[in-house]
Structure 1
Amino acid sequence: MSAETPDYKDTLNLPKTDFPMRAGLPKREPEWLERWERIGIYDRLREKEGRAPFTLHDGPPYANGHLHIGHALNKILKDMVVRSQQMMGRDARYIPGWDCHGLPIEWKIEEEYRAKGMDKDKVDVVDFRQECRSFATGWIDIQRDEFKRLGITGKWEKPYLTMDFHAERVIAEEFMKFLMNGTLYQGSKPVMWSPIEKTALAEAEVEYHDKESFTVWVKFEVAGISSDFAGSQGDEPIGGWPKDLMGADVVIWTTTPWTIPSNKAVVYGQDISYGLYEVTGTPDECWANVGDRFILADNRAGDVMTRARLSDDQWTRVRDVTSEELSSLSLQHPLAGAEGSDGEWDDPRDFRAADFVTDEEGTGFVHCAPSHGMEEFELYRDLGMLEQVITYNVMDDGSFREDLPFFGGTYILDRKGKEGNANKTVIDKLVEVGGLLARGKIKHSYPHSWRSKAPVIYRNTPQWFAAIDRPVGDGQDDYGTTIRQRALRSIDDLVTWTPKTGRNRLYSMIEARPDWVLSRQRAWGVPLTCFTKKGALPTDDDFLLRNAEVNARVTAAFEAEGADAWYQPGAKERFLDGIVDPDAYEQVFDILDVWFDSGSTHAFVLRDREDGSEDGLADLYLEGTDQHRGWFHSSMLQACGTIGRPPYRGVLTHGFTLDEKGNKMSKSLGNTVAPEDVTKQYGADILRLWVAQSDYTADLRIGPEILKGVADGYRRLRNTMRFMLGSLAHFSDEDRVAPADMPELERWVLHRLAELDHKVRTGYDAYDFQGVFQAIFNFATVELSAFYFDIRKDALYCDGDTDRRRAARTVLDLLFERLTTWLAPVLVFTMEEVWLERFGGEGSSVHLVDIPRTPADWLDEPLAAKWAKVRAARRVVTAALEVQRTEKVIGASLEAAPVVHVREAEVLKALKAVNFADVCITSDIVLTGDPSPAEAYRLPEVEGIGVVFEKAAGEKCQRCWKILPDVGRHAHPGTCARCSEALG
């Protein structure tokens, strides 16, 4: 620029904004949280009338610790659902809640007691429950602040708590519906039992870890003829008897030696090939003797002999043993007749075929302790023989009953959940009596309590069940007469599943599940509010007291005092006196499975709250995939038993969080990512953006490098918003241009907005946050920043008050409205910052507005097709110029005036119909239909376009930097015609 040429920089319409490049989210986000609370955004949204309701029912987390990254994923997804539904015109309500009862909290209090040397069982139960309540209250306050820090909107000042008095009343009422409709019963069957926590566990409370277990091969001697085959002539069976089997041993294999004292039977497979095997030689150390005969499945014989330390030349197969022969045999327990056994195991063991026996492992025979295994239990239940085979040898702490010979007082697990002395004691006794053939150890997947992390056992104990195949006597038969029928039909007819695989998972679980174990032997929870008649059997019609007046007394007391009323002195008399004789009944003190609590939340949240749901149903339940066996499952069963259908119309499931390498997170591995750490380093919006960018239907990976990449993408998006803010400075309604009067480029942007509006709305309705965000992000950073903004910067900065500039600013205003509202459900803090930069004011917030409707007539498919050709040709030009820039022939694209050879006449026509030089950001451009010369630059993916580089002719305009022949010929020195006119 010569000394005579003015500096035109101040004459340009450069962007003007205070919106910072650096977000500073960790510091600024809490300020926006305070502001939202001050102006009461959630309640102001509820004031909007005439909107269709949308209710996402919150699955309650346990109130017992700081949030982990899984909590953050879950709550952010829920928040994005609620906010997007609200901004699409619905009244989207969100009442956060907490699960407050059950073992997770009770276990924490017990740990505190143990640390002080106190015995929980010696503390008054009401005092203990109050400590549990206080513990939960403290963690609710902590977790509430941690959730709010993530930008989660909701009725935080009035959440639902399962320990609220009204909630405890309703949970009891919902249980009473099972009591009154005939589905509640007391039964005795094997359940997963935690000896450490002294309670039954649900499947959802169990996790599987590798465990090393003892494994034993035990001999059951053939002692005679089965009573079914005994004839009228002494002990000889009708039709003869295979006497060579007398004294042979049927060998069983088990990984739970502690169940041998509870053995009542051995079973075999009807279609398995069995043989009689004889020992012909033995090594020095072996529990087998020459002449011993064993009955084994042929497929397992070799393995069993190897386990017994016998080589192939030390045993032989004598003959086949048929199923008919097996059915004629009677077996004796290996401890039968042992000195000091007091006849405990002297009765013959039942021996029969069962369809669950295989020859894939073990011996081809299965030892049955129906008190400790469901398959065995169901076999003898169906045979009507439970009374003969059920034992009560194992106590609630996992010890054998004191009077059990040899083993009384031994423990399956010690008090720390490690291997107790029961297995070794049983094995040693089997060795002593000659009942053991082999032993070893095996590492296998084994169920553990997910709270205490200790192994669990199957233990027969009286429990309370909801029968899922018994007709429900409530008259609600629209979807079936039993709970299972209703659930299975509802899964297909009433619920939308996201992803659809969730349907299959829950269906298969409910199709195969047993009756629901409702009872737990604990103190902190809602009790099973029922009474049993003294002296009556569980099968008697009058065993359970079913009395509406008694129920009303109980629930009224719970409403006023909470469930503690059940445990107060004189409670039984208080509830029964004057209605029935209190002395004739026993009060039940088991508590409800905590899954029944959470499964009942629909009743006291959706049904009872003013801000619940008009029909008592939720539009959506949203949790992790583990809740197919947890909350989704229990809510389905509970509601099908009480209202005849599930409490939800839609179910969304997300995966688990893994580290960057795809490994499960573990504190011991040091690969966990705490939400608090992310918000301190990056801000909650980065965590929210990570959720939006991820495919939540699968497991999600997170770690330092992934978060760094998310932050980089965030910065690109932030820069796009900053450019719009700067270019819209002082924009007013007088600057608007009607779409019909806009240039093609602007109308193409409007077309894209109309397309995206449809994608955003359908995507948000389908909860496809990844698809929505990816579409918006690509549009903002590729189609806007790298294309439209890049082209229109010249007009925005250098034009005077032209139609082109006003059209561009009108489009920017329309873009601003849509991008901020489209992204507000995801980037709640950043979009609020962007919005307030333009529309500040105490009551203003992007979260109070709806996504604007985009007119359908903005769609222009022919125009879009034309601009697809223009953009393709532009890519070839910009790639050709990049070669020249790399080789330092030019410094900027405005130094070029390339010749573009276009083979297709239709494409050439399209390029000539627009200002292609502006589109390519060159000072000039020549379009020709002549064939491309050999030296022309080409892109393989764009056929028919060749570019020959030429430098622009003329001088550089000192205002817009274009190189044009007319520069210097106008009123203002060193300017082109356009810039001189803009200067006036």
Structure 2
Amino acid sequence: MCADTPDYKDSLNLPKTDFPMRAGLPQREPAWLARWEEMGIYDRLREKPGRTPFILHDGPPYANGHLHIGHALNKTIKDMIVRSHQMMGFDARYVPGWDCHGLPIEWKIEEQYRAKGLNKDEVDIVAFRQECRAFAANWVNVQRDEFKRLGVTGNWEDPYLTMDFHAEAVIADEFMKFLMNGTLYQGSKPVMWSPVEKTALAEAEVEYHDHTSHTIWVRFQPVSGLEGAVVIWTTTPWTIPQNRAVAFNPAISYGLYEIVATEEKSTAMVGEKVILAQALAEGVFAAAKVTEFRLLRDVATSEFDGTQLAHPFRGIEGGAGEWDYDVPMLPGDHVTDDAGTGFVHTAPSHGDDDYQLGLKFGLPMTYNVTEDSSYRADLPIFGANARAGEEKPVLYVIDPNGKDGGANVEVLRKLAHVGALLAKGKIKHSYPHSWRSKAPVIYRNTPQWFVAIDRAMDDGMATYGDTIRKRALESIERLVHFTPATGKNRLFTMIQNRPDWVLSRQRAWGVPLTCFVKTGAKPTDADFLLKSEVVNARVKAAFDAEGADVWYSQGFKEKVLEGVVAPQDYTQVFDVLDVWFDSGSTHAFVLRDRADGTPDQIADVYMEGTDQHRGWFHSSLLQGSATIGRAPYKNVVTHGFTLDEKGMKMSKSLGNTIVPQAVIDQYGADILRLWVAQADYTSDQRIGPEILKGTADSYRRLRNTLRYILGALDGYTANEAVAPAEMPELERWVLHRLAELDVQVRAGYAAFDFQSVFQTVFNFATVDLSAYYFDIRKDALYCDGSTLARRAARTVMHLLFERLTTWLAPVLVFTMEEVWLERFPESSIHLQDFPQTPGDWLDETLAAKWATIRQVRRTVTGALEIERQAKTIGASLEAAPEVFVTPDVAQLLQGLDFADICITSDVVVKTDPAPEGAFRIADVADTAVVFAMATGEKCQRCWKILPDVGTHSHAGTCARCDAALTEKGL
């Protein structure tokens, strides 16, 4: 610029804001948290009158350890649901909760005891429970601070804990409803059992890992009738002493085979005859090292009817007659010819199929395996009494350290000794393990307490059926909406096929099964269980006052039974409830009993990971079906698991875990929240350094858009506002887009679809606004005086500010607060609702017109870019292109300053045929551009090249800039 050329830079209305480009979230977010706490934001929202309650009921995390990335995902989704519904006009309440009882905590205390050389069983049970309670309380406080750091809003000062006295009282009371409605019973059946933890496990407490098992092929010799031995195959040799039958399937083809030749080390004998499924014979003989065999004849399954076999240990030396019984052959549909031999060894005490077959045919149950998976001491051959003097007298299936305990090998050895072992091997397969101890589990027959889910209840709540199963299935079909929809079939199938609910656990830390049984009575006797409303009320009152520990206090039984029955006639039950019953009961003590709950005990949303179809969703459904007659929820929302960037499951051993606090320390909680919003949480999500970098980049782009809006609104007041009807078309198009987005955002939030909400708003902000509208209007914003175009643009900026900040507030809780405080420092974005957007902003005709204009502009921009690359021009304002369009399009452009829209100094619109060589874009029909340089001088203020520059009172300006300078008094 020459020395005598005026410098008009200071006269421009350049954006002005203190909002920093660099967010500094890790350092600044804690201050906003402190501000919200001081303001009491959550409580102030509850004071808003006339709102419909909306309750997301928190599935309680376990109070045990620091948060992992799955916790962060889960709680952030919940927070987005709560915040968005609050801003859509609901009274959106969120009471965080914790699951405090159960084996994981008890196991931690036991580990501490073992490290000190102490025996848990020698400690007073109440003292032990108090240690568990203190352990849980400590982790509740740790996790609460970690959840709050994520920006999660809620009633943190008054959460619910399943170990609170009132919670324990209600859990016991809910259990006693099953006692009174007749669905509770004591049964003896095989359940998943952890030998290491010495307790029954629910399916939700089991995970599957690869495990190497012994496999054996065993001969069962016929007592009479059949020509050959029946061969079974099993991966659990330790169950052979408990065998009570051999099952076959009438639909399978069987054959009688003769062994002709064998390898030297084979345990098969030349000339012996065996019966096998024909589809499996070749594989069996290969395992038995049989080199030649022949099929003698087909064996009809009618030959098995009434056939008795000898137990392999029949007549064994030292057996004391323990196995000198006949083993029946029984038909069973569960037998297949996919693997094995076509015959299934049946031990009713150690498998569900076996148990069901035993029920059908009246097979006896056995009790040979104790709680630590050792054989009972007086079991011949295998019990500790029989093995006295051995190096290892006690045989375990799984030893106390979770390893193979020798029972399999010893049974295998004895089978070989008596000549029953045809073949042996090992197999690596998926096998159930306790997800706490990581040790293998077994099926074990034990007396447990069950809820009969198919037993009719006469409780006056039969709208959806008279059994728990019927009510649960009807709820799924008729009352509950699932997100994603696949969750419906998943839960339905689980409920449809599940057995009775095992409630009891043989542990110390939990709510006891508050019931009494008549001493000496059988579980099938009518008076076996004490049913007394008076006793139940006393128990509940005692728990409310002193907590569940009172159950274990001296004289408690006598106190609650006094005057009702003779205490000496009844035995107190000391098993504790499955923790899934605790969390399944939360709808009673949280939703029903709290002022911020709902008396009908039905939440608007339950939201957890997909594993909770067999966990909390499941137990809550069963519990609610029994006690309130239906599911305690209207919506079930599920998220997937979190994987690393390669799609692998996270594990400490692989070193691919992502710790939420580490992400917060590097990027801030808002970046973690944005990762959640950008992911399709209904499937498994991936996270890692590169993904987080991409998330941070999206955040920066959005932050720049918001910073631009703040800068453009510097000094804006309501006095500048322009009514929509008076705005230029471009501003009315923006209002149309806002009206469209308002519908989409609200629908997305209502459907819990945060990915679509964020993508919709983000694309609008970065494409429609930053790359289009702002690009066009920056000239008017910077250079105009108080023109209609500038005032309308600033009005639109204000309307954009209101909507973008509130629409994004449920996701970016910290950043939107920061943006809001730039304009309204005494308020909070989180006290606002989504603004009501007038329906008459929608203008489809205008939208269609501007869609066409935008395509024409795209063609112009494409033509200018070629000239820019050729260095013909440096900036688009140096151009004044000729644009060839159809008459219809030319009419659309009439009345518009199309040069402003194209960011050129001039545009000539023509309807003549475009000359040869004119620039075109393939997907924009009937539009062509011929480049031309702008003529005139460059305005020293706005840099447009115009013929009138230099003819006004302010040197080197165009008419527009001259007027603006005059208006400013310059």
Q: TM-score, normalised by structure 2?
A: 0.98
Structure 1: how far apart are the matches of 2:574 and 2:54? 39
What pairs with 1:316-355 in structure 2 (closer than 5 Å)?
Answer: 316-355=294-333
What pairs with 1:67-106 in structure 2 (closer than 5 Å)?
Answer: 67-106=67-106
Q: Is 1:404 paired with 2:404?
A: no
Residue 841 of structure 2 corresponds to which residue in structure 1? 858
Residue 869 of structure 1 corresponds to which residue in structure 2? 852
Deviation string, structure 1 residues 133-182 (Cα, Å, up to 9, x no partner)? 00000000000000000000000010000000000000000000000000
SS of residue paired to 2:223: strand
Letter in 1 for 2:746: R
Deviation string, structure 1 residues 816-855 (Cα, Å, up to 9, x no partner)? 00000000000000000000000002xx100001111000
What pairs with 1:103-502 in structure 2 (closer than 5 Å)?
Answer: 103-225=103-225, 245-246=226-227, 248-311=228-291, 314-383=292-361, 385=362, 388-408=363-383, 409-502=394-487
What pairs with 1:919-934 in structure 2 (closer than 5 Å)?
Answer: 919-934=901-916
Letter in 2 for 1:428: R
Contact 1:193 1:458 in 2 (8 A): yes
SS of residue paired to 1:939: coil
What pairs with 1:764-775 in structure 2 (closer than 5 Å)?
Answer: 764-775=749-760
What pairs with 1:636-655 in structure 2 (closer than 5 Å)?
Answer: 636-655=621-640
SS of residue paired to 1:178: helix
Letter in 2 for 1:30: P
Query: Which range moved further: 612-621 or 161-170?
Result: 612-621
Deviation string, structure 1 residues 298-351 (Cα, Å, up to 9, x no partner)? 11111111111011xx21111111111121421001110010011111101011
Letter in 2 for 1:897: A
What pairs with 1:358-757 in structure 2 (closer than 5 Å)?
Answer: 358-383=336-361, 385=362, 388-408=363-383, 409-757=394-742
Contact 2:150 2:669 in 1 (8 A): yes
Residue 386 of structure 2 corresponds to which residue in structure 1? none
Letter in 2 for 1:364: G
SS of residue paired to 2:603: coil
Residue 379 of structure 1 deviates from its aligned partner by 1.6
Residue 874 of structure 2 corresponds to which residue in structure 1? 891
Contact 1:342 1:405 in 2 (8 A): yes
Residue 748 of structure 2 corresponds to which residue in structure 1? 763
SS of residue paired to 1:280: strand
Structure 1: how far apart are the matches of 2:364 and 2:516? 28
Residue 936 of structure 1 corresponds to which residue in structure 2? 918
Letter in 2 for 1:155: N
Structure 2: how far apart are the matches of 1:318 and 1:938? 85
Contact 1:659 1:701 in 2 (8 A): yes
Residue 3 of structure 1 deviates from its aligned partner by 2.2
Deviation string, structure 1 residues 569-592 (Cα, Å, up to 9, x no partner)? 122112112221011000000000
Contact 2:98 2:140 in 1 (8 A): yes
Structure 1: how far apart are the matches of 2:641 and 2:937? 62
Contact 1:105 1:136 in 2 (8 A): yes
Residue 241 of structure 1 corresponds to which residue in structure 2? none
Query: Which range moved further: 186-195 or 314-323?
Result: 314-323
Contact 1:971 1:980 in 2 (8 A): yes
What pairs with 1:909-924 in structure 2 (closer than 5 Å)?
Answer: 909-924=891-906
Which one of 954, 957, 973 corresponds to residue 955 of structure 2?
Answer: 973
**Percent of matched pairs sharing the same residue:** 69
SS of residue paired to 1:113: helix
Structure 1: how far apart are the matches of 2:888 and 2:508? 81
Structure 2: how far apart are the matches of 1:957 and 1:283? 102
Residue 117 of structure 1 deviates from its aligned partner by 1.3
Structure 2: how far apart are the matches of 1:518 and 1:646? 19
Contact 2:372 2:399 in 1 (8 A): no
Contact 1:912 1:927 in 2 (8 A): no
Residue 905 of structure 1 corresponds to which residue in structure 2? 887
Count residues in correspondence: 956
SS of residue paired to 1:278: strand
Residue 614 of structure 1 deviates from its aligned partner by 4.3
Residue 650 of structure 1 deviates from its aligned partner by 0.8
Contact 2:512 2:576 in 1 (8 A): yes
Deviation string, structure 1 residues 405-450 (Cα, Å, up to 9, x no partner)? 2211300112111111110111011111111000001011111111
Letter in 1 for 2:376: R
Structure 2: how far apart are the matches of 1:630 and 1:194? 18
Structure 1: how far apart are the matches of 2:36 and 2:445? 55
Letter in 1 for 2:134: S
Residue 876 of structure 1 deviates from its aligned partner by 1.1
Residue 218 of structure 1 deviates from its aligned partner by 0.5
Structure 2: how far apart are the matches of 1:597 and 1:865? 57
Contact 1:736 1:807 in 2 (8 A): yes
Contact 1:266 1:351 in 2 (8 A): yes
What is the RMSD of the two structures over their aligned residues, measured on CA atoms? 0.9
Letter in 2 for 1:253: W
Structure 1: how far apart are the matches of 2:126 and 2:545? 16
Residue 19 of structure 1 corresponds to which residue in structure 2? 19
SS of residue paired to 2:189: strand
Contact 1:182 1:473 in 2 (8 A): no
Structure 1: how far apart are the matches of 2:801 and 2:143? 35
Residue 957 of structure 1 corresponds to which residue in structure 2? 939
Structure 1 residue runs of 5 or longer lacking an equivalent are: 226-244
Query: Which range moved further: 35-44 or 488-497?
Result: 488-497
Contact 2:593 2:599 in 1 (8 A): no
Structure 2: how far apart are the matches of 1:527 and 1:776? 51
Residue 613 of structure 1 deviates from its aligned partner by 1.8
Residue 382 of structure 1 deviates from its aligned partner by 2.5
SS of residue paired to 1:734: helix
Residue 899 of structure 1 deviates from its aligned partner by 1.1
Structure 1: how far apart are the matches of 2:418 and 2:640? 53
Letter in 2 for 1:210: D
Letter in 1 for 2:296: V
Residue 948 of structure 1 corresponds to which residue in structure 2? 930
Structure 2: how far apart are the matches of 1:712 and 1:937? 34
SS of residue paired to 1:943: coil
Residue 911 of structure 1 deviates from its aligned partner by 2.3
Residue 883 of structure 1 deviates from its aligned partner by 1.5
Letter in 1 for 2:172: A
Residue 912 of structure 1 deviates from its aligned partner by 3.0
Q: TM-score, normalised by structure 1?
A: 0.97
Residue 711 of structure 1 deviates from its aligned partner by 0.4
Residue 937 of structure 1 deviates from its aligned partner by 1.5
Residue 290 of structure 1 deviates from its aligned partner by 1.4
